[in-house]
Amino acid sequence: MNVIRTAMLLALMTALFMGVGYLIGGEGGMMIAFLIAAGMNLFSYWNSDKMVLRMHNAVEVDERNAPEYYGIVKALAERANLPMPRVYLIDNPQPNAFATGRNPQNAAVAATTGLLQRLSREEVAGVMAHELAHVQNRDTLTMTITASIAGAISMLGNFAFFMGGSNRENNNPLGAIGVLVAIIVAPLAAMIVQMAISRTREYAADRRGAEICGQPMWLASALDKIARGAQAIRNDNAERSPATAHMFIINPLSGEKMDNLFSTHPDTANRIAALQRMAQEFGGGGGAPARPVDPRPAPSAPPRSPQTGPWGTAPRPEQPQPRPSQPQTNPWGRNPTGPRR
């Protein structure tokens, strides 16, 4: 049902785009705008992941300098039968994460340092399973195309404001009314459709992510923590690039708390309730995986000192403190020679 809804919404977005072009400049104007939009889509298809990661100052990590975080993603990718994505970290105190890439073979997942510091290993596993579900469902490509078409419609609306009304030979059947529709109504409708697609895909990714990690309540608990953290902590990079807000697991922008037509994400309480129902289905034999994924590092991973985990677990009193020769240089690993921005 989610796939059908998304296809219908994309078809509506395309039809809206074609209609706005016709209202502004007739068939000729529509074709010119379509060619521009096609160029935008082509560029976004090949470069959207690099652009988004650069916007948020993401740094690529591996199993040497982020063994636990990288190990969780690797175990989940294997469980989902996905190629290993590139793994990134964003030095930001707000707990959040997103996935990007045009297909599973060219995917990347990114988490903030705030996510690794504030969530348990199980909760991080739930979040990364959600992001891998977006990759598996090819939601990242869908959202890129939708955002590009929405941007093209907004561009047409701006063009109509400056040029549409002065062209008497544009075959516009509605005259000034058509120009007003192109300026005001069409961009608003495009935004609503874009938000509807994003919200539909979040529910689907929640469910598939819970299936991948094997424990719906891991993700439910994580969503609650992330939502509270996003409300309390400002994400400056996201505020500067609001067009990427729909990619995060929870809206990173300030003031986004309502589940309405203008919200990029469903209400967190509704998502948690859906996961709770799913957990009951699993408990009643409703098709749960045989066992949940183990969020701990593989046995072959190098031994950790008491404070080497990316979640900042404090050592127990009887445990020795880390030796000075092994300083912690950042919240996600021990290797001071790891990737830097």
Q: From CA 172, how far away is CA 168, in angstroms rounded?
A: 8
Q: From CA 285, how far away is CA 191, in angstroms rounded?
A: 40
Amino acid identity at 127: V
211 is in an annotated binding site: no
Active site residues: 131
Q: Give the number of other CB atoms < 10 A from CB of residue 317.
A: 5
Burial of 125 (0-12, 13-18, 19+ CB in 10 A): buried
Following CA atoms 95, 276, 271, 209 in sequence, which dihedral angle do they give, to the nearest 10 degrees?
70
134 is in an annotated binding site: yes
CA distances from 223 to 97, 110, 140, 174, 220 (A): 11, 16, 20, 47, 5
Q: Which amino acids are annotated as binding site for Zn(2+), given as ranges?
A: 130, 134, 202
